[in-house]
Homo-oligomer: A and B are copies of this chain.
């Protein structure tokens, strides 16, 4: 354990992830990294740092597919009910990496019906958020809109909905309850729709067969397993191969609990005015000790530090530099005040640059997504 805790990339306890691998058959991502390099490709920052910690069939479906010159797709969904934050950016970075490095076509589902059902926002506001918050921020972060298919789930065309209808006959209530708890009509439809999101890029009707990977948090695995099973269950009806999945750790909010749009004090949004973001950041929970004296003596605990999380996931792309910050914290050389001031500068610079690109990205976003007619 002591060694594991001294890993600069290992800020989050890994025992739950080990269990996921053991019990459910998620494989460690580390085993795939040499294969990615053998294919002549660089692993991503999140892969190198173990933030993407697990996978299903990433080697067989994606790396081998790439070597054979087959078409690859990556698909994810966003619920357009709040603002785009650093938790979303983790997924965005994976999409951009797959697009640039693996040449993957990117599919972005905007879960407008679910937002309407769950969050009770007006349809118009949901559609506005989908385009102006999610699509625009993704483009500003570097997603190439020419190689991305952005869509609202209520606006996707008949073969996609046919999948939903056929899936509905191939899942039992018990299976769905095991994943989602008590069934409601909106949960049933939303979960079958998610399965269609994942699998429809394989259909002829959406640009022809592609090998698909889905980046998810570990909590999404039951859904991935069900979706993979559905491919078998529709054998003979429609050609669907089981998608690959990658599993990433989740960045914490600034108080150490969940990062979420519904907790704006502990969540940094990519559209926060830089001074607002910096104020939140300066109050963030760190791994500092009770006193400066104690911290100089014992060193800080980056594993407990939400500021370090931001460095690890987003703000310090250079591995050597991150290792230096980790060492200086652990050794007590750099205290939290100094560290936060450095982080605040980086955060401010990142947001200023990002927001400078955002206006043009919004223009593009409006032209690349078709809003539903109602």
Quickly give the copy total for this chain: 2
Give Cα distance in the complex from A286 to B162, angstroms.
46
- Minimum Cβ distance to chain B for residue A350 (Å): 36
Which of A188-196, A252-260, A272-280 has 4 or more CB atoms under 8 Å from chain B? A188-196
Q: Tell me if A162 and B237 are in contact (CB < 8 A).
A: no
Which B residues are in CB contact (< 8 Å) with A116?
166, 169
Which of A179-187, A329-337, A358-366 has 4 or more CB atoms under 8 Å from chain B? A179-187
Give Cα distance in the complex from A236 to B121, angstroms.
12
The one of B165, B184, B188 in contact with A153, judged by C-beta atoms closer than 8 angstroms, is B165
Which B residues are in CB contact (< 8 Å) with A164?
161, 189
Q: Does A372 contact B (CB under 8 A)?
A: yes
Q: Does A271 contact B (CB under 8 A)?
A: no
Which B residues are in CB contact (< 8 Å) with A147?
none
Give Cα distance in the complex from A188 to B190, angstroms.
12
Give Cα distance in the complex from A372 to B158, angstroms.
9
Q: Tell me if A113 and B158 are in contact (CB < 8 A).
A: no
Which B residues are in CB contact (< 8 Å) with A188?
168, 183, 185, 188-189
Chain A 114-165 residues near chain B, CB threshold 8 A: 114, 116-118, 122-123, 153-159, 161-162, 164-165
Q: Does A320 contact B (CB under 8 A)?
A: no
Residue of B whose beta carbon sits closest to that of A203: B374
Q: Does A47 contact B (CB under 8 A)?
A: no
Chain A 199-214 residues near chain B, CB threshold 8 A: 204-205
Q: Does A368 contact B (CB under 8 A)?
A: no
Chain A, residues 292-323, CB within 8 Å of chain B (1/0): the string is 00000000000000000000000000000000
Which of A55-63, A97-105, A170-178 has 4 or more CB atoms under 8 Å from chain B? A170-178
Give Cα distance in the complex from A164 to B158, angstroms.
13
Give Cα distance in the complex from A132 to B163, angstroms.
24
Give Cα distance in the complex from A158 to B153, angstroms.
10
Q: Tell me if B373 and A169 are in contact (CB < 8 A).
A: no
Residue of B whose beta carbon sits closest to that of A118: B169
Q: Tell me if B165 and A173 are in contact (CB < 8 A).
A: no
Give Cα distance in the complex from A29 to B113, angstroms.
39
Which B residues are in CB contact (< 8 Å) with A184?
172-173
- Using A113-B162, A173-B182 as known contacts, list a sample of 5 further A-B pairs with CB atoms less than 8 Å apart, ordered by residue number in A: A157-B158, A162-B372, A165-B193, A188-B188, A205-B373
